[in-house]
Every structure is written in structure tokens, then in C-alpha cells.
């Protein structure tokens, strides 16, 4: 079967799946976009993408067939799986969504179909976990269908590095399936494809990408803690070091989201299965996971220098998403700051105009405040520097009392712009 004759279905229409589905729909006829969330499908049909990654016009003119009915997958013969791969509370891999998607596809799977996974997993998971589920649900033997893997590289909020503009790593379980997968992705990805030597190599490449970034940010966070004790600003150090041609430009901050703060645990889980206890990777994870609590304790030390009780302090936190200028709250570390402050009797006001208040209440049990509520503050934490916050820094800083402190987590402000009546701190 030629690649142009393939009937493509994308399973999972979140931050990753929707751009993938739309891209294929621009090139292939009859592409199906499936999601189990009927509300998500309904809003997409109305031209509304809550992730903010897709323009309404793109949704209105696409030929993509949006559905939450598995019956619409019957005619598909190439499936692309883009469902979340989170971790449990004990930080062990949660394959629930992936297994659920595999069961759903397995019930429709036919001989010679191909199933490509984009969800981040540890090396071996596609063949060892997903393959058997597909075979069991379909009643087919493993030789009757083919597996593939092509790790997602979507960066929320980044319109420059879109799906079509990032080199796509692809791999199939044999030469024939690899050729088909490479041709199909190559027809839509302008940047081209890189053919990995095996599915396991492609899986490992993905977890390495995010583990490397996680470790580099952990190094910067540790540097920030040291710089504070020395009495110098981390940003000044990084600007000086950055003049060297091969210096890697990472910065300190809170590490959340669906990738960097999660994916390393998939790699370490596989390593431990094989009898190796990772040291460097887990050390980086411990540093990054601890930053919310460290920021909160530093805040408490500022309040402790004032005569009023901690319970009377007015603290405001700007931003709740895992990164600036996106509405994504998954695995945000800002709630860690709130939780730690609460243990000291401090009840901060949290505001973020980009997020869904009901979703925040459901996910974190937090009731958001309006920006108007954040006034007469003792401490203001600029946790996530959205453009909306930085558009008027004078208004933002006016929310503080004289003698108050602004905590600039990501060093988005210039110390010289801070009024002399205020105190300034940054990582």
C-alpha cells in the first residue's frame, strides 16, 4: 500500500496530537482526529482550542474529521498515538492512558495496519507494553501489524518551532514499516526526518532530550542557590559566562509541565528495572522538585524580618502555568510554593488570567484571585512572567507596600527598574 493511500488517525488531540492531526490533514484526505474528551472535540469543532496552539481559522478550514466515537476509526490503517504519559504520585510511570489508547485501537486493528506512538516512554515500552495490548485486543498475531515510534517535539507556546519545522525522529520495527513511516512523516515535516536504527533508540532519544534539559536547569538552580549565599546575582554570572562560544544558555527556575519534570522518571524507572540506580538524573530531579519549597521558605524569611505575624502577611503570586504565555497548568510547581507557605500560616493570593479557574480548582484545589485583589502586598512573587504581567511593570510593582519585596523567580525584571522603596530578589 502506498503512503498516499494510507488512512491516518491521530488518537489524542492535546498539545501534541492536534498540531500533528492538522498537519496531516493538510496533506492527506480523510484524516481522523480522535479524543475521548467529548467537550474537547465539541470546542474544536467550534474553532476553539483551549491550548492556544492553533488559530480558529486553521480549525475552521481544516478537513480533519474530529470525533470522540471509536467507530470513526474503523477505516483507519495508520494510527498515531499522542496521549499523555504522566507519572503516579510515587513518580513511577503511569501507562494508563497509553494502554487505554492501545486497547481502543486494538479493537479496530486490521492486518497490515501500522501503529506509531509519539507519547514519551522508556526504551522498550512500545514493543513490550503496547504491542501485546494491541495483539490481545485485536486477536491478531504480532506479525500481522507493525509498530513504530516517532517522539513528539512540540514546545507549547512556540510558534517558530512548529511540528513541520522540527526534524522528526522516526523508527519502525522492520525496514518495511520504517520506510512507510519515514515517507508519511517526511511528506509533512519540512525539516525532514531522521531514521533511528530501532524503536528503542528513538524512545531513548526522546527521554534523553528532556533529561538533558532537566539536568542543565538543575545545575543552574544549584548555581543560583550558591550565588545567593555569595551575594551576587545569578543572571549577571550567566551573562558573563555566556560570552564564551560554547556555553549552554540555561537559566534557573521552576521545572514543571508534561515533559521535562516527568520524562526523566521514565528513564530512571527502566534503569532500575535493569538493576542500575541512576544517580545524576535523580539528583537533578531532587533539586528541581525542591525549588518551589525553597522559594517559599525564602519568602518566609523576608516576612520574618517584619514585626507583623506571618498569618497577617499579604502575599501575592503572579502566574500559575508551568511556563510563560501558555495556559497549561500540568505539573506546575507554583502550587508547591502555595503549599509550603500554607505550612507557615501564610495564605497567598494567586492570580493568572491565562488559566481556567475551574480546572485549577479541580487539579490543585486552589481558588484563584483576580488581579485587582493583589494590592497592598508585603511580598509579590512573579512566578511566571507572562507578557501580560510585563507589559506594565509599574502597575505590577505598585501592588506592593513601601518596604515590600518583589521576588522575581526567572529574573524577568531589571533591578535598576525597581523603585528604591522596594526590595528585590531573584533566583
Angstrom distance (rounded) from CA 412 to CA 235: 10
User: The dihedral of CA 405, 410, 415, 419: what is its sign?
Assistant: negative
Of 346, 343, 420, whose CA–CA distance to 379 is shortest? 346
> Strand 78-81 to strand 65-67: parallel, antiparallel, or no bridges (unpaired)?
unpaired
End-to-end CA distance of the chain: 56
CB 247 within 8 A of CB 317: no
How many contiguous H segments (helices) and E segments (strands) does the chain have? 15, 13
Say how far apart CA 127 and CA 183 lie, in whole Å.
Answer: 21
Distance of CA 405 to the CA centre of its chain: 30
What residues have CB less than 8 Å from 320, skipping those under 6 apart? 329, 332, 334, 335, 350, 352, 355, 360, 366, 368, 383, 384
Q: Nearest Cα to 65, choosing from 22, 33, 17, 108?
A: 33
Give dist(CA 289, CA 286) in Å, integer. 5
**CA 86 – CA 269 distance, rounded (Å):** 13
CB hemisphere CA count around 193 (13 angstroms): 24
Q: For residue 162, give the C-alpha cell.
A: 512548529
Long-range Cβ pairs for the range 393-402 (8 Å, 24+):
393/417, 396/318, 397/422, 399/316, 399/374, 399/375, 401/314, 401/376, 401/377
User: Annotated catalytic sites, by residue?
Assistant: 259
Name the residue among 402, 425, 399 with its Cα closest to residue 412.
Answer: 425
Q: Pick from 384, 422, 393, 414: which is nearest to 302 by CA?
A: 422
Amino acid at each position: 500500500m502506498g503512503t498516499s493511500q494510507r488512512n491516518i488517525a491521530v488518537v489524542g488531540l492535546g498539545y501534541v496530537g492536534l498540531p500533528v492531526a492538522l498537519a496531516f490533514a493538510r496533506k492527506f484526505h480523510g484524516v481522523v482526529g480522535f479524543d475521548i474528551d467529548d467537550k474537547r472535540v465539541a470546542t474544536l469543532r467550534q474553532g476553539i482550542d483551549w491550548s492556544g496552539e492553533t488559530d480558529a481559522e486553521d480549525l475552521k478550514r481544516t478537513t480533519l474529521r474530529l470525533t470522540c466515537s471509536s467507530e470513526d476509526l474503523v477505516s483507519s490503517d495508520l494510527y498515531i498515538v499522542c496521549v499523555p504519559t504522566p507519572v503516579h504520585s510515587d513518580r513511577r510511570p503511569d501507562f494508563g492512558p497509553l494502554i487505554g489508547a492501545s486497547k481502543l485501537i486494538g479493537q479496530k486493528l486490521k492486518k497490515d495496519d501500522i501503529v506509531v506512538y509519539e507519547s514519551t516512554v522508556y526504551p522498550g515500552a512500545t514493543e513490550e507494553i503496547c504491542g501485546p495490548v494491541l495483539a490481545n485486543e485485536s486477536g491478531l498475531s504480532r506479525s500481522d501489524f507493525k509498530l513504530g515510534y516517532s517522539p513528539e517535539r512540540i514546545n507549547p507556546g512556540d510558534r517558530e518551532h512548529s511540528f513541520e519545522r522540527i526534524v522528526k525522529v522516526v523508527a519502525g520495527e522492520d525496514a518495511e514499516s520504517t520506510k512507510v513511516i519515514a515517507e508519511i512523516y517526511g511528506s509533512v515535516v519540512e525539516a525532514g526526518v531522521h531514521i533511528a536504527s530501532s524503536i528503542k533508540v528513538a524512545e531513548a532519544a526522546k527521554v534523553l532530550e528532556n533529561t538533558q534539559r532537566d539536568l542543565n536547569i538543575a545545575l543552574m538552580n544549584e548555581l543560583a542557590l550558591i550565588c545567593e549565599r555569595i551575594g551576587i546575582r545569578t543572571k549577571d554570572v550567566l551573562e558573563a559566562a555566556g560570552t564564551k562560544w560554547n556555553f549552554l544558555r540555561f537559566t534557573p527556575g521552576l521545572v514543571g509541565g508534561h515533559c521535562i519534570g516527568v520524562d526523566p522518571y521514565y528513564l530512571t524507572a527502566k534503569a532500575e528495572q535493569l538493576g542500575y540506580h541512576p544517580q545524576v538524573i535523580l539528583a537533578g530531579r531532587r533539586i528541581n522538585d525542591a525549588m518551589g519549597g525553597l522559594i517559599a521558605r525564602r519568602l518566609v524569611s523576608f516576612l520574618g524580618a517584619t514585626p507583623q505575624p506571618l498569618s497577617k502577611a499579604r502575599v501575592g503570586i503572579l502566574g500559575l502555568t508551568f511556563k510563560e504565555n501558555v495556559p497549561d497548568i500540568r505539573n506546575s510547581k507554583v502550587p508547591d510554593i502555595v503549599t509550603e507557605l500554607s505550612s507557615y500560616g501564610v495564605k497567598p493570593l494567586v492570580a493568572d488570567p491565562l488559566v481556567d479557574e475551574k480546572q485549577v480548582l479541580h487539579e490543585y484545589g486552589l481558588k484563584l484571585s483576580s488581579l485587582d485583589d493583589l494590592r497592598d502586598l508585603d511580598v509579590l512573587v512573579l512566578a511566571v512572567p507572562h507578557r501580560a504581567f510585563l507589559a506594565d511593570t509599574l502597575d505590577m510593582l505598585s501592588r506592593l507596600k513601601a518596604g515590600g519585596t518583589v521576588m522575581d523567580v526567572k529574573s524577568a525584571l531589571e533591578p535598576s527598574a525597581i523603585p528604591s522603596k522596594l526590595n528585590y530578589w531573584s533566583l
